[in-house]
Structure 1
Amino acid sequence: MTAQQSFLFIVVLIAASGFFSLAEISLAASRRIRLRKLAAEGDTRAPRVLALQEQPGDYFTVVQIAQNAVAILGGIVGEGAFSPFFTQLLGYWFSEPVAQSAGFVLSFLMVISLFILFADLFPKRLGMAEPEKLAMAVHGGMRLFTILLRPLVWVYSRLTDTLFKLTGLPMLRDDRVTSEDVLAMTEAVTQAGILAQNEQRVIANVFDLDNRSVASAMSGRDRIAYFFRDDPDEVIRARIAEEPYATYPVCDGDIDHVIGYVDSRDLYQRVLNGQPLTLRDDALLHKVLVIPDRLSLAETLDQFRQVQEDFAVVVNEYSLVVGVVTLNDVMSTVMGDLMGPDDEELIVRRDENSWLIDGSTPIEDVLHVLKIDEFPHFEEYDTLAGFLIVMLRRIPRRTDSVVWAGYKFEVMDVDSYRIDQVLVTRLETGEAAAPTP
């Protein structure tokens, strides 16, 4: 074979190797979501590529047979492709033995470089850039090679299957999409500037509903505005004026005996009609949804959906009322920073290194704002107040503090054993992480 023929043969081998490299990487990198979209739009090649991703064994066997065959042929032909040229060129300056040895080395490096550049790096980068489009483009050619190499493909595929069975390794790709996958994708899209950071946070909050208890979003027992069944007209009017809410629990004797709830719109209607306000009228009372305090927010939403309500009373294992929760409370948890400025702020940033935080603030919100990975004994509490109680092992008093993860949490105000305000300060590096009595 002449030098020119060897060179042309090398070019053909490089092109063939590049084709198979492109076929391999484009199939592996193709995103199933985009392929399904193309299939829905009527592209008949997309379903075939999806089928190959489900069972890629024969496809990759063809690729490996072809690439190894090309590599062997390239090694055989490579020496004759460029060695004579380099040997002749170097013969002007060196002796014949030295020129032959150097010519062989240069020829070898030349062939290797051409294969690396044009048969590996370039086609693989190209395949990563447009995987779905290229996977569909090379599908026909790969199908032809699969038919031509069927006997070899069958032998090597059976041998490979046997090895997988012996080792107990999975033979199929797990294409299940987890919440972590979706969150990772939204973070990548946010970094690319396609999705706003607040919008990405909303998506993360939706997936966090399963991990957050209803106690993290409810209004606590001490913040419940409620009526007794026998409250007179003037008491009801005064309570509405002082604490204007959409819904009020109605109790019999004490707050732990809730018999229903009343909608403020019904009360306003009676006022406009000049009727007296009395809660002994059963027409005003609605059956109240009662849920345990161990439910997650996702389960709470499901309870609202089942009974077509947007208000619930939360009780503990002793059937004592610990709070109330509304659909708006849950949605506020999801919306986060997108909530309007009229909503009550539980976390107020004072400056770059300090925050004033309400004790009832959900601990997940504190983690997010302070960018802390986790709090100790995380499963034992739902709020910042709970964190302080667990760390101090007692009911905190004013000026009590806890240092954790580079922050000092100092109790600023306590009202009847309830932690109202906590001052959180970022500490200088090196300060101890321990509770301060």
Structure 2
Amino acid sequence: MTLTQSLLLIVALIALSAFFSLAEITLAASRRLRLRQMADEGDVRAERVLRVQEQPGHYFTVVQIGLNAVAILGGVVGEGSLSPYYARLFDLWFSPDTAQAAAFAASFVTIIAVFLVFADLFPKRLGMNNPEQLAVRMVGPMQVLITTFMPLVWLFTRSTDLLFKLLGMPAHRDEQITSADILAMTEAGARAGVLAVREQQVIANVFELDTRLVSSVMTSRDRIAWFQKDDPESVLRARIVAEPFSAYPVCDGDIDHVLGYVDAKDMFQRVLSGQPLALDQGVPLHKALVVPDRLSLTEVLEQFRQAHEDFAIIVNEYSLVVGVITLNDVMSTVMGDLVGPQDEEQQIVRRDENSWLIDGVTPIQDVQRALDLDAPLPHADEYETLAGFLMVMLRRVPKRTDSVSWGGYTFEVMDVDSYRIDQVMVTDVEGAAQAAARSLKA
């Protein structure tokens, strides 16, 4: 075989190996969601790729047969065609035996390098750029090859299946898409600029609803504005002015005996129409939706939907009222930073680049997000708020000036009101030290 014929055969083998490499990477990298979209748009080839992904054994068997056969044949042809020319070159400097060994090594390295670049790296990089479009083009020829080599495919596939069975490993990949998968995709989209960072955060907040309890966003018991059933109109007006809310529980004697609630809109309409506000003079009393404090925000949303309500009383296992929650509270959790200070009382106030002033009842997830804390908090299942975190870390009720150091931050209690932690100063220790060093140099 002449050198020209050998080189043409090597080029053909490289092209064939590149075909199998491209077929392998495009099937593995193709996203099922994108393929399903293409199939729904009428591309029958995408449907065939989806079926192959469900049972990829025969497909990859043909790929491996092709790649290994081509690699072996390429090595034989390359060594036989290039070694004589390298031997003549090395004869100028080395003895015949040394020149022959060097020629074999040089031809081997040359063939490996050419195959690595043109038959492996290049086609795989190409396939990763647009896997779905290339996969639908490769599936037809690959199915022809599967049919042609079916006896070999059957033998090798059965042998592989038997090995998986002996090792107790699953023969098929899990195609279930989890919330973690979706969040990873949205994070990648945000890094690529496809999604705005705030849009990605809203999506993350939606998935967080299933893990956050109602107690993490409720208005706590000590902050509830409520009416006695026999409060005079003057008291009602004064309380509405002092504590404007969208709804007010109406109680009999104390807050743990809730009769219902009145909607602020109903009271506003009565004021505009000149009607009295006294609860015994026609103000509509709505039946209160009561939910346990161990529900997640997702479950509360479902309760709101079923009851056609947007306000609920939260009780604990002893039937004591621990807080109230509104639909707006849940949506504020979803919207996150998109909700401005005019829409809700700020619980996290940044004082400077290294310190924050945080309300004790702030949900611990919001604190982690504000401080950009990725590490899991200790005993995270034992509390839901920043105050709870401090109590667990100190193993007692915190007092003013108590502090906890964790994760490079110092959490110092600034104000306590009747055992309730009002304000906590959080300081980034390392950042504060660097700022102090810069100020000294200046």
Q: TM-score category by the smaller chain?
A: over 0.9
1:299 aligns with 2:324: no
Q: Deviations over 1:368-408 (max 9, x none)?
A: 11223233222122111122222233322222222222222
Q: Trace 1:255-334 onto structure 2 (pairs within 5 A).
A: 255-281=255-281, 284-334=284-334
- 8 Å CA contact 1:83, 1:103 repeated in 2: yes
- Give the aligned partner of residue 437 of structure 2: none
Partner amino acid, structure 2, of 1:351 = D
Q: Which amino acid aligns with 1:232?
A: P
**Counterpart in 2 of 1:355?**
356
| Distance (Å, rounded) in 2 between the aligned partners of 1:404 and 1:167 | 44
> Are residues 1:25 and 2:30 paired?
no
Alignment pair present for 1:369 and 2:373: no
Contact 2:87–2:100 at 8 Å: present in 1 too? yes
Give the direction of change, closer, same or farther, for the CA distance of 1:149–1:398 in structure 2 (3 Å limit). same
Structure 1 segment 63-212 matched on structure 2, within 5 A: 63-212=63-212
d(CA) in 2 for partners of 1:97, 1:389 = 80
Aligned with 1:394 (options 379, 393, 396): 396
Letter in 2 for 1:369: A
Q: Does the 8 Å CA contact 2:315/2:321 hold for their aligned counterparts?
A: yes
4+ residue runs over 6 A deviation: none
Is contact 2:262–2:283 with CA below 8 Å preserved after alignment? no
**Kept after mapping to 1: 8 A contact 2:227/2:251:** yes
Cα deviation, residue 168, structure 1: 1.2
What letter is aligned with 2:392? Answer: V
1:341 is aligned with what amino acid? P
8 Å Cα contact 1:363/1:382 also seen in 2: yes
Alpha carbons of structure 1 residues 374 and 167: separation in structure 2 relative to 1, 3 Å: closer
Identity over the aligned pairs, expressed in percent? 65
CA contact (8 A) 1:4 1:81 kept: no
Quote the Cα distance in structure 1 between the aligned partners of 2:284 and 2:153: 77
State the AA in 2 paired with 1:350. Answer: R
Q: 3-state DSSP class of the match of 2:411? A: strand
Distance 1:109 1:25 in 2: 25
SS of residue in 1 equivalent to 2:257: strand
1:4-23 aligned at under 5 Å gives the runs 4-23=4-23
- The 1:396–1:88 alpha-carbon spacing in structure 2 relative to 1, beyond 3 Å, is closer
**Deviation of the 1:200 alpha carbon:** 1.6
Alignment: residue pair count: 431
Query: Letter of the aligned partner of 1:294 in structure 2?
Result: R
CA contact (8 A) 1:289 1:309 kept: yes
Structure 1 equivalent of residue 422 of structure 2: 420
Q: Distance in 1 between matches of 2:395 and 2:3?
A: 86
- Deviation, 1:218, is 0.5
Does residue 346 (structure 1) correspond to residue 354 (structure 2)? The answer is no
SS in 1 for 2:255: strand
- Contact kept, 8 Å, 2:290 with 2:312, in 1: the verdict is yes
Report deviation, 1:64.
1.1
Distance, in Å, in 1 between the alignment partners of 2:188 and 2:95 is 60
SS in 2 for 1:172: coil
- The structure-2 alpha-carbon separation of the partners of 1:310 and 1:135, relative to structure 1 and needing over 3 Å to count, comes to same
Corresponding residue for residue 434 of structure 1: none
TM-score, with normalisation over the residues of structure 1?
Answer: 0.94
Is 2:390–2:398's contact at 8 Å kept on the other side of the alignment? yes
Distance across 1 between alignment mates of 2:95 and 2:322: 96
Residue identity in the other structure for 1:137: R
SS in 2 for 1:414: strand
Cα drift, residue 273 of structure 1 = 2.3
Whole-Å Cα distance in 1 between the matches of residues 368 and 193 of structure 2? 24
> Residues 9-65 of structure 1: CA distance to partner in whole angstroms, max 9, x if unpaired?
222111111111111111111111111111112111100011111101001111111
Please give the alpha-carbon distance, in whole angstroms, between the structure 1 residues aligned to 2:253 and 2:424: 34
Q: What is the rounded CA distance, in whole Å, between the counterparts of 2:407 and 2:99 in structure 1?
A: 68
* Structure 1 portions without partners, runs of 5+: 432-437
Q: Secondary structure at the match of 1:286?
A: coil
Structure 2: runs of 5 or more not aligned? 434-442
2:290/2:313 contact within 8 Å kept: yes
Deviations 1:301-346 (A, max 9, x none): 1111110100001111111111110010111111111102302110
Write the distance in 2 (CA, Å) between the matches of 1:265 and 1:13: 79
Partner of 1:52: 52
2:267 touches 2:283 (CA, 8 Å); kept in 1?
no
Write the distance in 2 (CA, Å) between the matches of 1:106 and 1:405: 55
Distance between the aligned counterparts of 2:317 and 2:282, measured in 1?
29
Contact 1:367–1:374 under 8 Å retained in 2: no
Offset, 1:139 = 1.5
SS of 2:210's partner is coil
Give the distance between the partners of 1:101 and 1:390, measured in 2 at CA. Answer: 72
Q: Assess, with a 3 A threshold, how the Cα gap between structure 1 residues 316 and 91 changes in structure 2: closer, same or farther.
A: same
RMSD after superposition: 1.9
User: Are 1:3 and 1:80, in contact at CA under 8 Å, matched by a contact in 2?
Assistant: no
- 43-52 vs 85-94, greater mean Cα deviation: 85-94
Question: Mean Cα displacement is larger for which, 206-215 or 372-381?
Answer: 372-381
Q: CA deviation at 1:167?
A: 1.3
User: CA–CA distance in 2 between the matches of 1:409 and 1:391?
Assistant: 11
Task: Quote the offset at 1:282 in angstroms.
Answer: 6.6
Give the letter aligned to residue 412 of structure 1: M
Give me the whole-angstrom Cα distance separating, in 1, the residues matched to 2:280 and 2:294: 32
Q: How big is each residue's C-alpha offset from its partner over 1:215-263, in whole Å with a ceiling of 9 and x where there is no partner?
A: 1100111111111111112211222222222111110111110010011
Give TM-score, length-normalised by structure 2.
0.93
The separation in 1 between residues aligned to 2:201 and 2:338, in whole angstroms, is 9
Match of 1:239 in 2: 239
Which amino acid is 1:404 matched to? W
Residue 111 of structure 2: SS of its match in structure 1?
Answer: helix
The one-letter amino acid of 2:87's match is T
Q: 2: CA distance between counterparts of 1:134 and 1:281?
A: 74
Structure-1 separation of matches of 2:399 and 2:89:
90
